[in-house]
Amino acid sequence: MTAPESAARRLPYVMAVNEAITQLMREDPAVFLAGEDVALYGSVFGISRNLLAEFGPERVVDTPIAEAGIMGLGIGAAATGLRPIIDIMFMDFMTVCMDQLVNQAAKMKYMFGGKARLPLTIHTMAGGGRSMAAQHSQSLEAWFCHVPGLKVVMPSGAYEAKGLMVAAVRDDNPVIVVNQKALLGASAPVPEDLYEIPLGVANIVRPGSNFTIVALGAMVPEALKAAETLAEDGLDVEVIDPRTLQPFDTGTVVASVRKTHRALVAHEAVRFGGLGAEIAAQIQEEAFDHLDAPVGRVGAPFSPVPFSPVLESHYVPTAETIVTEVRRLLGRQA
Amino acid sequence: MGEPHAYGGASAPASDWGDDRMTEITREMLLDLHQRMVRIRIFEEEAGRLSEAGRIPGALHLYVGEEAVAAGVMAHLEAADQITSTHRGHGHLVAKGGDLRQMYAELFGREAGYCKGKGGSMHIADLDLGMLGANGIVGGGPPIAVGAAFSNKYRKTQNVSCCFFGDGASNEGTFHEAANIAALYRLPIVFVCENNGFGEFTRQDRHQAIQDVADRAGSYGMPGVIVDGMDVTAVYEAAGEAIARARRGEGPTLLECKTYRFFDHVGVRGMGMVYRTDDEVLQWKRRDPIATFEERLQEMGILAADQAAAIHERVLFEVREAIAFAENSPPPDPSVLLEDVYTLAAGGGR
């Protein structure tokens, strides 16, 4: 399921998120949005602009700066019949509410013998590229994929941002929607209808025959650029966007690698212990005999995100990083 | 923003309501409060014995000594009113009307348990009764109770949530965040502090520089009330006011109940410990919330000694029957290990 090119209307990513929330709140009175500066200010990223005017302060709720309190508010509300969207402004701030998210929200269903239902969406903003330095730029999605009970989605563009947000809010589990600052201005065709992209289903963004790149979130457009460059080397690259990181669509990735025999995973998060390690492990477990080269990984180096634009441009992976790593894997000179 | 300090903070009077006050509580309610306390006491004493005998796995945090708090608060709540509990949570569920068979089956880790054997003592819950879970994380409950209160206000119900927590949890940041949000939004919630004088094995004067947790209420813009947590009628009266206030939409109250844990933080022992003297324990036991209440009920001609004994006997019978049911019920089948990690979509996928 890819954005229909016939849908003439193009929408920036940030407005796609905004439209998703607006339409979801129109659809279901149990949906509300709470977070720091989401109401009067419309969120520092603009995802909730105009919502206060349409839905009022009961449903668009400015909170104190109190991430654990906000997360608990969402958990208690979800457990008692509401369908909250909790905005944690920067993904880095998730560290402040880890108990509520990891020990409470993720485990309630299981610990209580299945009786709890927790339709809770956590919306947050990850990633670098804006010189926001070490405490406002992290990509921590791997942490949350490690916790049974949580689901994690990472949209790669405006179309995915809307459709995955809708699926997240309609899901009866805690779902973390990891948007990335670098993508907020990117436009794509976005249907005006309220559509849903199913969770747990990967998308083959670009079909190819002899190399697979699994790219997460903002690395999808970079991987597509890399694929164009690598075509000059005679590679026909297939680019897969998992869209949902937990549950992960291993089947689509493995089927691709069985066809292409070579693979690389690209994400913006630190490479060590990142999702790339898990995906590479699954590929070798399921398709070892089909592999003609080691499974490559592209990720950020092992340091905090730097501030200086010069340093950050060397930190966040790009299409060039991907091209270089693919060529290295195949034993070719850049 | 209401009337901060309506009950005063540090200056709030400790409750000293005598028998004349009790006459305002119906005879029926006095017996109800008694019954709730006895059920908790016997449930916990039997659980302690089973634990010491190695028949119940894992850790037990027993509520013995603190029964007046759960009984006095819960007598005001209906099933649709929610509570969040603590690691010491059995008493809260018993007082809220929890099913003893399902509770014991959970302590034994059996399929018939409240949580199908997946939660145990520290995660015992009954969402249908508004019991949103015991909690293994100190301070885990307050934000969730605030969420339930938010939900009640959002859905325009008249329900309240009550957040049980200890003096130890009052030092967690989550308590601060929850109290601030609750007061800011004037949510229908009562923060019930069970101040038993210890955070695990650390005495209160070694974990906070104040004596009364209720002192903190004023700083959030909510009233703080102190009551004798060994006196069930005092708790009942004060909780009634706080809950009524919440139901009227006048916002949260911090109700501090001064109580004491007869047993240890975990397990039964409680005496001969380095962190408190036996003399102190014995002094508090002289204020046993059940024994002292029974004396008063006897003086009032409401419950004779033999009638009280008959109630204990009946509850003990019920508890032992629940234990027999639980111990003879099957453990969960290993095939359910991966069930209920997620709520499945209507189509069966996740």
Same domain, yes or no, for A94 and A144? yes
Residue of A25, A111, A199 to mutate for B, most B C-beta atoms under 10 A: A111
Residue type, B58: G
User: What chain A residue is nearest to B82 in terms of C-alpha separation?
Assistant: A80
Q: Edge to edge, what strands does the sheet with B161-166 contain?
A: B82-84, B161-166, B189-195, B253-258, B224-228
Q: When comparing pLDDT for B2 and A138, which is higher?
A: A138
Using a CB-CB distance cutoff of 8 angstroms, which residues of chain A are in contact with residue B133? 108, 111-112
Rounded-to-integer distance, Cα B108 and Cα A43, Å: 49
Q: Residue B280 belongs to what H/E stretch?
A: helix B278-285
pLDDT at A3: 57
State the first-to-last Cα distance of chain A, in angstroms, to the nearest integer: 34
* Residue A147 falls inside a structural domain: yes
pLDDT at B21: 57
Q: When comparing pLDDT for B106 and B3, which is higher?
A: B106
For chain B, what percent of residues have pLDDT higher than 70? 92
User: What chain A residue is nearest to B122 in terms of C-alpha separation?
Assistant: A111
Tell me the sheet residues that pair with A241: A203
Contact (CB<8Å) B116/A66: no
Q: Residue A188 belongs to what H/E stretch?
A: strand A187-189
Instruction: State chain A's mean pLDDT as an integer.
Output: 96
Domain CATH code at residue A135: 3.40.50.970
Residue type, A69: G
* Residue A257 falls inside a structural domain: yes
Q: Is A67 among the catalytic positions?
A: yes
Q: How far is B5 from chain A (nearest CA, A)?
A: 22
Q: Is the Cβ–Cβ distance between B33 and B75 less than 8 Å? A: yes
Same domain, yes or no, for A185 and A221? no
pLDDT at A131: 94
Same domain, yes or no, for A248 and A148? no
Domains of chain B, start order: 19-208+229-328 (3.40.50.970)
Same domain, yes or no, for A39 and A143? yes
Alpha carbons within 13 angstroms on the beta-carbon side of residue A255 total: 9
> What is the pLDDT averaged over residues B76-105?
98
Alpha helices of A3-94 — where are they, by DSSP H?
13-27, 51-55, 67-79
B324: its two tokens = 């027999």
Contact (CB<8Å) B118/A110: yes
For chain A, what percent of residues have pLDDT higher than 70? 97
User: What chain A residue is nearest to B153 in terms of C-alpha separation?
Assistant: A58
Same domain, yes or no, for A162 and A216? no
What is the DSSP-derived secondary structure letter of residue A304?
A: P
Same domain, yes or no, for A177 and A292? no
Contact (CB<8Å) A64/B82: no
Under 8 Å CB pairs connecting chains A and B tally to 150
> Residue A186's closest CA among A165, A159, A215, A164?
A159
Rounded-to-integer distance, Cα A141 and Cα B344, Å: 22
A303 pLDDT above the threshold of 50: yes
Among A59, A66, A200, the residue with its CB nearest the CB of B180 is A66
Q: Is the Cβ–Cβ distance between B207 and B213 less than 8 Å? A: no
Same domain, yes or no, for A170 and A262? no
> What is the pLDDT averaged over residues A45-51?
97
Q: Edge to edge, what strands does the sheet with A263-270 contain?
A: A203-206, A237-241, A211-215, A263-270, A296-300
Same domain, yes or no, for A154 and A242? no
Q: Is A136 among the catalytic positions?
A: yes
The residue out of A145, A163, A189 marking a domain boundary is: A189
* Residue A4 falls inside a structural domain: no
Q: How far is A32 from chain B (nearest CA, A)?
A: 10
Among B117, B128, B147, the residue with its CB nearest the CB of A73 is B147
> What is the pLDDT averaged over residues B201-215?
97
Contact (CB<8Å) B341/A108: no
**Which of these ranges, A34-48, A79-93, B5-19, B235-249, has the smallest mean pLDDT?**
B5-19
A97: its two tokens = 């509410």
Same domain, yes or no, for A207 and A137? no
> What is the pLDDT averaged over residues A305-320?
97
Same domain, yes or no, for A178 and A215? no
- Classify each residue of B261-289 as buried b or exposed e, where b means 16 or more C-beta atoms within 10 Å of its C-beta: bbbbbbebebeeeeebeeeebeebeebbb
* Residue A195 falls inside a structural domain: no
> What is the pLDDT averaged over residues A252-258?
98
Using a CB-CB distance cutoff of 8 angstroms, which residues of chain A are in contact with residue B345? 171-172
**DSSP per residue, B12-67:** PPPP---HHHHTTS-HHHHHHHHHHHHHHHHHHHHHHHHHHTT-S-S--B--TT-H
> Residue A70's closest CA among B144, B160, B86?
B144
At a CB cut-off of 8 Å and minimum separation 6, what does A311 contact? Answer: none
User: What chain A residue is nearest to B84 in terms of C-alpha separation?
Assistant: A76
A136 pLDDT above the threshold of 50: yes
Tell me the sheet residues that pair with A126: A180
Q: What is the dihedral of CA B205, B206, B210, B212, to 10 degrees?
A: -60
Reported as a single tens digit per residue, the pLDDT across B210-227 is 999 999 999 999 999 999
Alpha helices of chain A — where are they, by DSSP H?
13-27, 51-55, 67-79, 98, 106-111, 141-145, 158-170, 219-231, 250-260, 275-287, 309-315, 319-329
Domain CATH code at residue A296: 3.40.50.920
Contact (CB<8Å) A100/B174: yes
Using a CB-CB distance cutoff of 8 angstroms, which residues of chain B are in contact with residue A82? 151, 154-155
Same domain, yes or no, for A160 and A21? yes
Confidence bin at A7 (pLDDT 50/70/90): low
pLDDT at B11: 37
* Residue A194 falls inside a structural domain: no
Residue of A136, A160, A238, A325 with catalytic role: A136
Angle between helices B232-247 and B67-74 (to 10 degrees): 40
Q: How far is CA B259 from the centre of its chain?
A: 12
Among B82, B178, B342, the residue with its CB nearest the CB of A173 is B342
* Residue A73 falls inside a structural domain: yes
> Residue A165's closest CA among A197, A212, A189, A204?
A197
Q: How far is B317 from chain A (nearest CA, A)?
A: 27
Confidence bin at A8 (pLDDT 50/70/90): confident
Same domain, yes or no, for A166 and A58? yes
User: What chain B residue is nearest to A66 in terms of C-alpha separation?
Assistant: B177
Using a CB-CB distance cutoff of 8 angstroms, which residues of chain A are in contact with residue B139? 99
State the first-to-last Cα distance of chain B, in angstroms, to the nearest integer: 44
Instruction: State chain B's mean pLDDT as an integer.
Output: 93
The DSSP bridge pattern shows strands B161-166 and B82-84 to be parallel
Tell me the sheet residues that pair with A50: none
Confidence bin at A332 (pLDDT 50/70/90): low
User: What chain A residue is nearest to B118 in terms of C-alpha separation?
Assistant: A111
Reported as a single tens digit per residue, the pLDDT across A109-134 is 999 999 999 999 999 999 999 999 99
Contact (CB<8Å) A111/B140: no
The residue out of A189, A220, A240 marking a domain boundary is: A189
Confidence bin at B270 (pLDDT 50/70/90): confident
* Residue A171 falls inside a structural domain: yes
Rounded-to-integer distance, Cα A69 and Cα A66, Å: 5
Domain span at A266:
203-329
Cα three-residue angle A153-A170-A69, rounded to 5 degrees: 75
Q: Is the Cβ–Cβ distance between B74 and B82 less than 8 Å? A: no
Among B128, B147, B180, the residue with its CB nearest the CB of A76 is B147
ipTM of the complex: 0.94
pLDDT at B24: 84
Alpha carbons within 13 angstroms on the beta-carbon side of residue B10 total: 3
The DSSP bridge pattern shows strands A237-241 and A263-270 to be unpaired
> Residue B149's closest CA among B123, B170, B166, B130?
B130
Using a CB-CB distance cutoff of 8 angstroms, which residues of chain A are in contact with residue B339? 114
> What's the structural domain count of chain A?
2
Tell me the sheet residues that pair with A86: A34, A122
Contact (CB<8Å) A113/B149: no
- Contacts for A132-138: CB closer than 8 Å, 24+ residues apart: A132/A90, A132/A181, A132/A305, A132/A307, A133/A305, A133/A306, A133/A307, A134/A304, A134/A305, A134/A306, A134/A307, A135/A90, A135/A92, A136/A90, A136/A92, A137/A92, A137/A181, A137/A305, A137/A312, A138/A91, A138/A92, A138/A269, A138/A305
> Residue A48's closest CA among A19, A73, A71?
A19
Q: How far is B282 from chain A (nearest CA, A)?
A: 37
Using a CB-CB distance cutoff of 8 angstroms, which residues of chain B are in contact with residue A72? 142-147, 174, 177-178
The residue out of A134, A162, A189 marking a domain boundary is: A189
Q: Is the Cβ–Cβ distance between B247 and B289 less than 8 Å? A: no
Among B125, B144, B180, the residue with its CB nearest the CB of A75 is B144
